[in-house]
């Protein structure tokens, strides 16, 4: 179903919006990739690690709980904010610097040896980090809905964010390693933190009030969450997208083990497999962008979910590739095939949330895009925690390699359930209702 009218946003606005995603993805992926390594790995043969792995994991879980709780709280503050620069940009402006400062500080513990003080420092630092992360990312995502008057605008902004996310992840996963080898972990953190900070400020140059004319909301927090969850199209989109996140997180967590345990390759080939996944995804973005504008968000989302359900079971064949293929070639093929629907998954869900958030004006008379992204973030972060536990349970109770082989079919079942859920998404009703609150979308 192609709907939504022509693009209304200047191209520079679309590009500027995406730059912010590259900034926070660099910071977040560097932290998630290197902080564990930094704290639980001994500096040299004469010193112990700063912290036991289990202690670090427990502290990180506490930070994730803070992260999940912060989502609806920040969303409500953003929706209800009255400021000269708009509802979203003030949060980006205020949070960007302290966000990067706390990220750098986490890699500079007070003591260079194992100590309870380091544990306290890490716990407080992660609580601050995740709160500031949400203070930037929550309003940033809501800005997508505020700026987009048409389906084309939503898809373009989502595509810009997706491309920037992929490039930011590449910097965090590839460039960071090169910098660590040349200068050390702490120097790498400073260098990439500076790059990220510049990118974080790029979206603040967008004149929000010129393109987003929504009035601040007034709804209290609990009522706002309850009303959001009463929006049926949003709940369908929430459940469908989270079904896929459940499966995709299980697969992405285990890529290093696929390479070493199932394919019998070295750790260095993890970069090759991820390069295949992200490389195919990157070149698929323009096609998905055009296809989504032609056939609609629902069709592309269902197709992406169905494609994942077909590709993920191929992981079970990793130990014995078919057709006489080598382990490396087969791994590259499977990851490359997964990159095709991944492009749709990066683009479509945020655009759908932006679309269903528009319905709130017909329901409550208020624009509360931030709360929709906030509630989505709350469920997503809980989902990531649960899927991580499921992944661990498969490996522990089914054993290696059978447990690893099972991760593909389990992820495929989750993607298939997501496709079935999205069959019930009422796209025509959503677009009809949106035309009433955004008449410019039909011009």
DSSP state of 442: G
The answer to whether the beta carbons of residues 242 and 380 sit under 8 Å apart is yes
Among 236-240, 292-296, 369-373, 435-439, which is the least confidently predicted range?
A: 435-439
d(CA 160, CA 307) in angstroms, rounded, equals 23
d(CA 197, CA 161) in angstroms, rounded, equals 17
Quick: pLDDT tens for 333-375.
999 999 999 999 888 888 888 788 777 777 766 677 778 888 8
CA 97, 99, 103, 106 torsion-angle sign: positive
Report which of residues 202 and 441 the model is more confident about.
202
pLDDT band at 215 (very low <50, low <70, confident <90, very high): low
Q: Which two tokens stand for residue 229?
A: 């969850």
Q: Per-domain residue ranges for the chain?
A: 1-215, 217-436
d(CA 13, CA 206) in angstroms, rounded, equals 6
Residue 87: Cβ within 10 Å count = 27
Report residue 379 CA to chain centroid gap: 12
Q: What angle do CA 272, 277, 281 make, to 5 degrees?
A: 140
Name which of 194, 21, 108, 147 is nearest 441 in CA terms. 147
Quick: pLDDT tens for 72-123.
888 888 888 887 778 888 999 999 999 999 999 999 998 877 788 989 999 9
DSSP state of 260: I
Q: Which two tokens stand for residue 436?
A: 């009433």
For residue 46, pLDDT beyond 70: no
d(CA 241, CA 247) in angstroms, rounded, equals 10
Candidates 1.10.3430.10, 1.20.1250.20, 3.40.50.1370, 1.10.10.10; CATH matching 1-215: 1.20.1250.20
Helix axes 232-253, 402-422, angle to 10 degrees: 160
SS3 (DSSP) at 428:
helix
pLDDT band at 5 (very low <50, low <70, confident <90, very high): low
Candidates 1.20.1250.20, 3.30.565.10, 1.10.3720.10, 1.10.10.10; CATH matching 217-436: 1.20.1250.20
d(CA 99, CA 107) in angstroms, rounded, equals 13
Quick: pLDDT tens for 136-159.
998 998 888 788 777 788 888 988
Contacts of residue 82, defined as CB under 8 A and 6 or more positions apart, other chains included, come to 216
Q: Which two tokens stand for residue 258?
A: 């696929």
CA 251, 311, 315, 425 torsion-angle sign: positive
Residue 290: Cβ within 10 Å count = 12
For residue 2, pLDDT beyond 70: no
pLDDT average, residue stretch 307-313? 96
Name which of 151, 205, 149, 171 is nearest 27 in CA terms. 171
Report which of residues 322 and 177 the model is more confident about.
322
User: Average pLDDT, whole number, for the chain?
Assistant: 85
Q: How many CA atoms lie within 13 A of 255 on its CB side?
A: 21
Element (H, E) at 232: helix 232-253
As a three-state string, the secondary structure of 285-340 is: HHHHHHHHHHHCHHHHHHHHHHHHHHHHHHHHHCCCCHHHCCHHHHHHHHHHHHHH
The answer to whether the beta carbons of residues 175 and 192 sit under 8 Å apart is yes
d(CA 60, CA 66) in angstroms, rounded, equals 10
The model carries a pTM of 0.75
Give me the DSSP letters along 350-363: HHHHHHHHTTHHHH
């Amino acid at each position: 179903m192609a709907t939504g009218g022509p693009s209304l946003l200047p191209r520079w606005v679309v590009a500027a919006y995406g730059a912010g995603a590259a900034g926070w993805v660099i910071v977040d992926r560097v932290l998630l990739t290197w902080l564990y390594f930094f704290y639980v790995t001994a500096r040299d043969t004469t010193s112990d690690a700063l912290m036991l792995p289990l202690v670090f994991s427990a502290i990180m879980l506490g930070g994730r709980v803070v992260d999940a709780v912060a989502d609806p709280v920040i969303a409500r503050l953003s929706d209800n904010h009255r400021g000269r620069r708009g509802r979203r940009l003030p949060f980006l402006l205020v949070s960007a610097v302290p966000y990067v400062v706390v990220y750098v500080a986490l890699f500079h513990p007070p003591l260079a040896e194992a100590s309870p003080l380091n544990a306290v420092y890490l716990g407080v630092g992660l609580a601050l980090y995740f709160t500031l992360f949400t203070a930037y990312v929550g309003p940033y995502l809501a800005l997508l809905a505020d700026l987009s008057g048409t389906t084309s605008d939503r898809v373009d902004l989502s595509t810009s964010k997706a491309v920037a996310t992929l490039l930011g992840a590449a910097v965090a996963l590839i460039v960071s390693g090169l910098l660590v080898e040349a200068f050390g972990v702490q120097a790498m953190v400073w260098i990439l933190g500076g790059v990220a900070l510049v990118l974080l400020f790029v979206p603040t140059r967008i004149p929000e009030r010129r393109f987003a004319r929504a009035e601040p909301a007034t709804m209290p927090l609990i009522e706002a969450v309850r009303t959001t969850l009463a929006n049926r199209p949003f709940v369908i989109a929430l459940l469908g997208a989270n079904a896929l996140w459940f499966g995709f997180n299980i697969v992405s967590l285990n890529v290093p083990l696929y390479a070493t345990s199932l394919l019998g390759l070295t750790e260095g080939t993890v970069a090759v497999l991820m390069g295949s996944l992200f490389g195919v995804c990157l070149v698929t973005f323009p096609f998905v962008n055009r296809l989504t504008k032609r056939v609609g968000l629902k069709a592309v989302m269902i197709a992406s979910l169905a494609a994942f359900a077909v590709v993920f079971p191929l992981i079970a064949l990793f130990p014995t590739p078919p057709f006489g293929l080598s382990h490396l070639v087969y791994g590259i093929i499977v990851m490359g095939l997964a990159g095709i629907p991944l492009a749709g998954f990066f683009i479509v869900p945020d655009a759908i949330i932006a679309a269903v958030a528009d319905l709130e004006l017909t329901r409550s008379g208020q624009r509360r895009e931030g709360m929709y992204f906030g509630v989505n973030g709350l469920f997503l972060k809980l989902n990531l925690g649960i899927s991580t536990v499921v992944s661990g349970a498969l490996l522990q109770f089914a054993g290696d390699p059978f447990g690893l082989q099972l991760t593909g079919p389990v992820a495929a079942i989750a993607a298939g359930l997501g496709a079935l859920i999205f069959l019930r998404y009422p796209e025509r009703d959503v677009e009809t209702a949106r035309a009433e609150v955004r008449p410019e979308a039909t011009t």
